[in-house]
Amino acid sequence: MHMAATMDCPSLTLFSHDSDPRRCAPLSLTPGYSRSLVTRDLATLSAERVCRYLQDWTFPLLNLEPQQKSVQNILMIG
């Protein structure tokens, strides 16, 4: 995931509460291209929820201006 983010490929990383994405999430060169989804237990995270998150993210990502400033996006659920 770190290599994909470094190459500026849009990436979504899944984290459980066992790790801290603020410390170890992959970072992209372009703000907003790397996102993290955090849940208490990855076993309870449904594929449907991940797919909905990706669908909601896709349209704004395509329209993101390279100069646009953004903080890393971390969604915490559960």
Q: How confident is the prediction along the chain (78 residues), in pLDDT tens digits per residue?
A: 889 888 888 889 999 989 999 899 998 888 888 889 999 999 999 998 888 888 887 655 555 555 444 445 555 665
> Taking the C-alpha atoms of 56, 40, 18 and 35 in order, what is their torsion angle to the nearest 10 degrees?
10
- pTM beyond 0.85: the answer is no
**pLDDT score, position 71:** 44
**What domain count does the chain have?**
1
- Range(s) of the domain holding residue 33: 2-77
